[in-house]
Amino acid sequence: MDAFDELIVNYLLNICGGLFIAIAAIIYRANKLRASNRAFSLLVLIGGIWTINYGFITRGGDNAILHLRIGAAVAAFLAPTLIIVRDFVANPRARFNLIAKNTLPWIALAIALAALTPADWFIRNNSTVSSINYGPGWLWQHLVISAAMAYIAWSGWSHRRQLRGTARDEMGIAVIFAAGAVTVISAFLAFHHSGDPLPPPEFGLVAILYASRLTWVLLARGVYDARVLISLVTRTVAIILGASAVFFCIYWLLKIKAGINETAAAIVASIAAAALVNYITQFFLAKHNALLYRSIAGFQREVQEVARSALTQEKALLQLERIFAEYTNTADALILIETGRNVYQRGTYRFPDRGLVWQRLNRSGWLARDTMDLTSVAAHDRDALRWIDERPVSLLMLGPRSEQHLNIVVALGRRQSAPAYTFYELECLSLMIESAAIALTTIDASTQAQHAGQMMALGLISASVVHEIKQPLAALRLFFKMLPSRYEDPRFREQYFDIIPDELARVEATLSEFLRLGRTESYHVRIFNPSALIHEVLTLIQPKATACRVQVVTDFAARDPSLRGDPQVLKQALLNLTLNAIQAMSGLRAGPRILFVGTTLVGEKCEIAIRDTGPGISPVILEKLFRPFVSTKEDGFGLGLYITRDQVVKTGGELIARNDPIGGACFLLLYPLATGNATDAPPQIASSTASTPPLPARSA
């Protein structure tokens, strides 16, 4: 190797060392990376410094490539040692003998490596150029490195079932496969000592590229499942083999066809192969990330729809669990809400705030089922966590803890596709859980705000309620005072028996509306057909309509639609509106008294109209008709329409009031249509207590 080639090789050596240091800085400064990744970045930094050091002090290119490989091997060799040191520092009194026993083979191999490396370097540097004596140190040095890396890989693979969902798993798995890669390289070099003892430079570059790329991909993906690891390694090997074929093709074209210097051709071919590997890897990684990000975007859209809907917290939880199961491709999902400090519960499912399982979940934020060892936890925790096996649960994920939203734990069922979760997917799940927690907080805050508003309204109407009750009570008190002295008067007794029930009914009605306003009701939104319900309401009001000489006219749509809402709320609203209409027409001295009830399909909604031929609503009152304490009746309390509209809106409907162009008031109930088979409309119901003709159907 001439001086120019030696300069090129040393230059490449320093570039590789600089790349090691740059990668170490990127890993160390990356967001949301655990302490183990930062520890591994320090090991990469050590390898980079080692590489640059040998790049400056070695006098030959062969020595430079050799020590570049030795530096990478030592950096990978130090990683499991750091894991053991961290275990010992965390708990120095526990299992000291066991730790020392497990590290004894590594200590022996490290001593052998430390002895053979300088011996081999000394022998080669004291040999002449014409007859280099590589000696037995060459073979045994690489055999020791290969044995050390093989022991690390075998140890990690044999204990993979015992890995827990902690920060150390990422570094441990990366070390296992980095050690495996170095094992193959070192074994090849150990038995390649005859003839040309060192492989050509291009082999070293491709081998280092393979080991670094595989380690980097494993760190980025953070895979812990054996089947996923085998698939990932297979794909990575295929990519590297393809890149190696590209390398040798370019190298052959530049050296043989173009006559370019061997080293320059190797440099250009290595750069092209590295660029190809990087492009293919980033392409698949970007494609995978794009799918995940699209899933997150769709998940957040559906969660926002749940947050905007008028659902109770329990129904919102059911909707969110369905969305979680759909987007994570799992059989089911369960959301547990923090009910106390670090106590998560949902019905009979409870996650205790103590015990080994909680410590692991709280430390790492997630816990996979194949890493849980429920036999090692305390008895009371094992009983509380029995539901994990019964459901069964494949992954427990703790959402980001914050005082700004509810803290939740999501338990995902058995996965239907890939059995394991990558760390990219866990990061995406963390974002999904945070979105769900914010949505639940919004729903909870909305419910509390509505209830607080109702309580405030209760406070505002307290004086009015007292006044409304005080008047009939004062009349009753006056009658009771007069009763002893005037009981023998038949006219007084008749008046007494007429007024007392009316005044008591007035007190009862006032108290009923008062309590109804302050009560937090639960609604049952479902799909129903309105025709039978309207028929039932008209049957109930028929005696009142007959007594007030009101004719009831109906006009239903050709087909009975299926609506989504609470049928009991619609029934109560129809009952209130029809009785109000009858009462408004009962005072008419002339003109027809007609109550019209009909249904019309308008786009994606069904419109239920209640019209009358009464005096209508004053424009001043119409603007604030649905506010509390606003009434068109002289003796009205002003809460009936306010409560009716509030209930209709909460169950997905609308209530609109207006004056009809040809006279009278018109109330429109609008409900969204639901998919389903329609049924025939019921027959029309009409009373013939008045001689006026039926009211024709009018468009809304």
119 in Cβ contact with 156 (< 8 Å): no
The answer to whether residue 470 scores a pLDDT higher than 90 is: no
Q: Are 87 and 184 in the same domain?
A: yes
Q: Does residue 700 belong to any structural domain of this protein? A: no
Task: Report the chain's C-alpha Rg in angstroms.
Answer: 41
392 in Cβ contact with 411 (< 8 Å): no
pLDDT band at 595 (very low <50, low <70, confident <90, very high): very high
Spatial separation of the C-alpha atoms in residues 134 and 663, rounded to whole Å: 113
Spatial separation of the C-alpha atoms in residues 387 and 395, rounded to whole Å: 13
Q: Between residues 13 and 594, which one has the greater pLDDT?
A: 594
Indicate the residue among 472, 488, 518 that finishes a domain: 518
Q: Does residue 24 belong to any structural domain of this protein? A: yes
* CATH number of the domain to which 459 belongs: 1.10.287
Indicate the residue among 159, 189, 224 that finishes a domain: 224
Q: Are 262 and 288 in the same domain?
A: yes
Lowest mean pLDDT among 25-29, 68-72, 163-167, 299-303: 163-167
Report the candidate in 138, 264, 136 with the shortest Cα–Cα distance to residue 190: 138
585 in Cβ contact with 553 (< 8 Å): no
Residues sharing a CB contact under 8 Å with residue 149, sequence separation 6 or more, in sequence order:
73, 76, 77, 179, 180, 182, 183, 186
pTM of the model: 0.41
Q: Are 419 and 470 in the same domain?
A: no
Residue with tokens 């007084």: 492
Q: Does residue 244 belong to any structural domain of this protein? A: yes
Beta strands in 461-531 (DSSP E): 526-528
Q: Does residue 432 belong to any structural domain of this protein? A: yes
Q: Are 604 and 623 in the same domain?
A: yes
Spatial separation of the C-alpha atoms in residues 222 and 426, rounded to whole Å: 10
Q: Are 263 and 403 in the same domain?
A: no
Q: Does residue 698 belong to any structural domain of this protein? A: no
538 in Cβ contact with 685 (< 8 Å): yes
Q: Are 212 and 285 in the same domain?
A: no
Q: Are 350 and 469 in the same domain?
A: no
* CATH number of the domain to which 426 belongs: 3.30.450.40
Q: Are 425 and 474 in the same domain?
A: no
Token duo for residue 89: 């520092």
pLDDT digit string, tens, across residues 200-255: 444 444 444 444 444 444 444 444 444 555 565 566 666 666 766 777 788 788 88
Q: Does residue 690 belong to any structural domain of this protein? A: no
Measured from the Cβ of residue 125, the count of other Cβ atoms closer than 10 Å reads 12
Spatial separation of the C-alpha atoms in residues 410 and 399, rounded to whole Å: 8
Q: Does residue 685 belong to any structural domain of this protein? A: no
Q: Does residue 697 belong to any structural domain of this protein? A: no
Residues sharing a CB contact under 8 Å with residue 531, sequence separation 6 or more, in sequence order:
556, 560, 599, 679, 681, 682
pLDDT digit string, tens, across residues 89-109: 555 554 555 555 555 565 565
Query: Cα angle vertex 209, ends 207, 212, to 5°?
Result: 110
Q: For residue 683, what is the DSSP state?
A: P
591 in Cβ contact with 697 (< 8 Å): no
pLDDT band at 112 (very low <50, low <70, confident <90, very high): low
Q: How many separate domains does the chain show?
A: 5
Q: Are 195 and 230 in the same domain?
A: no
Q: Are 37 and 139 in the same domain?
A: yes
* Mean pLDDT score, 476-494: 74
Residues sharing a CB contact under 8 Å with residue 226, sequence separation 6 or more, in sequence order:
160
Q: For residue 32, what is the DSSP state?
A: T
* CATH number of the domain to which 536 belongs: 3.30.565.10
pLDDT digit string, tens, across residues 34-87: 444 444 444 544 544 444 444 444 444 445 445 544 544 454 444 445 545 555
Report the candidate in 24, 221, 201 with the shortest Cα–Cα distance to residue 209: 201
Spatial separation of the C-alpha atoms in residues 483 and 500, rounded to whole Å: 12
Spatial separation of the C-alpha atoms in residues 636 and 256, rounded to whole Å: 103
Indicate the residue among 518, 535, 551 that finishes a domain: 518
Spatial separation of the C-alpha atoms in residues 204 and 16, rounded to whole Å: 12
What distance lies between CA 658 and its chain's CA centroid? 44
Token duo for residue 534: 């309207």
Domain that holds residue 473: 448-518
Query: What DSSP element (H or E) covers 296?
Result: helix 262-308
Q: Are 182 and 291 in the same domain?
A: no
669 in Cβ contact with 652 (< 8 Å): no
pLDDT digit string, tens, across residues 400-455: 777 777 888 888 888 766 556 666 677 778 888 888 888 888 888 777 777 776 67
Percent of the chain with pLDDT over 70: 45
Q: Are 463 and 322 in the same domain?
A: no
